[in-house]
Amino acid sequence: MGAVLTQHTAWPYAARAVAALRAAGLLGPRRLAATSAAALARAIRPAGTPRVKARRLRALTRWLLARTGGRFAPLAGLPLGPLRRELLAVPGLGPETADAILLYAAARPVFVADAYARRVLGRHRLLPRGAGYEDARRFVEAHLPSDPALFNELHALVVAVGKAHCRARPRCAGCPLRFDLRGRPPAG
């Protein structure tokens, strides 16, 4: 739910919507699927664009109910490539949202190559200028062990570096990754 609610929204606002869903008893897929789009949109208003996100939550929930009866655990045993393609076919789920669901809800070894990650990789010359989401995801997955716990922690650390240091104007002094620049300025 959080992966959808945080689209185009900072996490604290998405977290307020998750808390509202929990308080209303709507985090379970069957209850959520049985709730009208209008009532769902009212509950998730703190996350912004509530009608769009209500539609997306209902689409994801319908898919999950049809696929596994509403449980994420069985997704851990399905072939990853076809499963990712199925998720990407759910209306409103882009690569970043689908990969966050695969990593955090299904414990699959997928790297969430969000804007923070692409910025750090680009500035450290690990990706060419103009590289996109899939380039970054494939690069990281090809160079690290296929371990969900590793990708989980790496994503959290990259987000922390991105928020504290690798902003629109990089603050390399004091950044834990500055050693990797080897005295060169960040690329880009």
Which residues contact ligand SF4 by CB under 6 A? 120, 123-124, 161, 165-166, 170-172, 175, 177-178, 181, 186
Q: Please, which residue, 36 or 153, has the CB nearer to ligand SF4?
A: 153
* Alpha-carbon gap, residue 21 to 42, rounded angstroms: 10
Q: Please, which residue, 77 or 185, has the CB nearer to ligand SF4?
A: 185
Contacts of 31 (CB under 8 A, 6+ apart): 25
Q: Please, which residue, 8 or 171, has the CB nearer to ligand SF4?
A: 171
* Minimum gap (Å) between residue 1 Cβ and ligand SF4: 30
* Minimum gap (Å) between residue 146 Cβ and ligand SF4: 24
Cα 124 to chain centroid, rounded: 22
Q: Please, which residue, 154 or 161, has the CB nearer to ligand SF4?
A: 161
* Minimum gap (Å) between residue 117 Cβ and ligand SF4: 10
* Alpha-carbon gap, residue 172 to 169, rounded angstroms: 9
* Minimum gap (Å) between residue 14 Cβ and ligand SF4: 25
Q: Please, which residue, 95 or 122, has the CB nearer to ligand SF4?
A: 122
Torsion angle of C-alpha atoms 59, 28, 6, 88, degrees rounded to 10: -30
* Minimum gap (Å) between residue 154 Cβ and ligand SF4: 13
